[in-house]
Structure 1
Amino acid sequence: MSKLIRTALVGVGLGASVASIAGCSPASSGDEVVYHASYPVYSSVEDLESSSDLIVIGTPISSEVRQIDVAAEAPVPGDSELDPGSGDVEGEELSSLLTYTVYEVEVDQVLQGDARRGETVEVAILGGTMGGVTYREAEGIDPLALNEDAAFYLAAFEGAPYQPLNSAQSIYAKSSDSTFTSVGVENPISRDVAASLRAVTE
């Protein structure tokens, strides 16, 4: 039997996240929910840094999958991608609960923002498996490797874990020779960010 694949349209912005899940019946074990997210894209290192509430280099030491209520404000009226109630997304049901993998990241170096070396911060990345249902982001990143260093460019949300600014440009794996590689594939500024990180960590 083929598994059921549901579609979610997710508008993700600093201060607002809205999702709509296709279909009215709840997902069952073996189903897959695919999130289609809309993020801001950054054209320079300076844009990425100025948009970040927290920039750290740290180590993911544990993870758990949670559902997080991301409702912060009303969807954009009339936008069929961000507002499923606009009438262009037939049969869709608005939901503010999204499934995330939440990582405990032990901070090694703070480049910007309010954190201290040695403490842990929570970083939520869209997707994960819960109740036998797999939630993933279309064109998202693979799960982070535990106990491997990375740099994170993060947005802060009141009462919730930090989140990457977007899935393509916000996380950079750190190698043993202190070079950095973008975890996201479609990242036109990856080399510039990697060079910037290398310069401040040498």
Structure 2
Amino acid sequence: MARISRRLAVTLALVASAATMAACSGMSASGEGRTITYHADYPAYDSANNLFQKADVVIEATASAAPARVQELKPDTTSDDPKLNPAAGAPAEQTAEADPVVISVYRAEVKKVYKGAVQPGQTIEIQQLGGQLDGITYQEAEAHPLKQETGYVLFLQTYPDAPAALLNPVQGQYPIDAAGKPSKLPENPVALTADDLKRISGAN
């Protein structure tokens, strides 16, 4: 099991803030049908205010489709710069055995903007760790993949040359319920209301 640091690599679209990640795989003889599970640590937030302050973009958006694409990130394994090579500094034997890092990229239509340089009606790309590639399933232990045609309030980090990323898989997304209100995921200790969003964003 290799443990690597996940940092922004713009040229690779590798984005996760100050997180560490390990990957565990269930092997099969051919590789087909195996599952690789990532275990990552993310910053946690104790209030809606802190989520809002940390995010570059806060929006209400609808995931319009299944992942637009699934891709493997290919770091520059010759570099000592952790921005280009997340495995920089790891022992050579661990680097050689490390499983690939795979992301799914979703498209979401912006409905409301509470923070950030985006506009209602705009479509943005959002990446999440994991996906199916070449017959192998890659998954993050605590991930909640965005659901098709579901509305969310999203707290995102954005990058010049890469899809946006949730602040963390659990606290970065609040599904919109049947009453049109944001609801927290079960693992998330921080509730969020429409009034909270108005207050912290200064929206009328």
**Class of the TM-score when normalised by the shorter of the 2 chains:** 0.7 to 0.9
2:119 corresponds, among 93, 116, 119, to: 116
- Alignment TM-score, normalising by the size of structure 2: 0.73
| 2:64 equivalent in structure 1 | 61
- SS of corresponding position for 2:96: strand
Q: 1:140 to 1:22 in 2, by over 3 A?
A: closer
Structure 2: stretches of 5+ with no match in the other structure: 10-14
| 1:169 equivalent in structure 2 | 171
Q: Percent identity?
A: 27
- SS of corresponding position for 2:68: strand
When you count strand as a share of all residues, which structure comes out higher? 1
State the one-letter code of the partner of 2:107: E
Contact between 1:64 and 1:101, CA under 8 Å: does it hold in 2? yes
| 1:52 equivalent in structure 2 | 55
Structure 1: stretches of 5+ with no match in the other structure: 1-6, 77-81
- SS of corresponding position for 2:117: coil
- SS of corresponding position for 1:181: coil
State the one-letter code of the partner of 1:117: P
Q: Once the 2 structures are TM-superposed, how far is the Cα of residue 186 of structure 1 from its aligned partner?
A: 2.1
How many residue pairs get aligned? The number is 186
CA distance in 2, matches of 1:84, 1:13: 11
- SS of corresponding position for 1:42: coil
Q: 1:75 to 1:38 in 2, by over 3 A?
A: farther
| 2:188 equivalent in structure 1 | 187
- Alignment TM-score, normalising by the size of structure 1: 0.74
- SS of corresponding position for 1:152: strand
- SS of corresponding position for 2:39: strand
Q: Once the 2 structures are TM-superposed, how far is the Cα of residue 13 of structure 1 from its aligned partner?
A: 5.1
Q: Once the 2 structures are TM-superposed, how far is the Cα of residue 148 of structure 1 from its aligned partner?
A: 1.5
- SS of corresponding position for 1:46: helix
CA distance in 2, matches of 1:155, 1:170: 10
Q: 1:192 to 1:182 in 2, by over 3 A?
A: closer
Q: Once the 2 structures are TM-superposed, how far is the Cα of residue 33 of structure 1 from its aligned partner?
A: 0.8
Deviates more, 1:192-201 or 1:31-40: 192-201
CA distance in 1, matches of 2:97, 2:6: 14
State the one-letter code of the partner of 2:105: V
Q: 1:164 to 1:133 in 2, by over 3 A?
A: same
Contact between 1:178 and 1:198, CA under 8 Å: does it hold in 2? no
CA RMSD of aligned residues (A): 3.6
Runs of 4 or more consecutive aligned structure 1 residues displaced over 6 Å after TM superposition: 198-202
Does residue 125 of the first structure (1) align with residue 120 of the second (2)? no
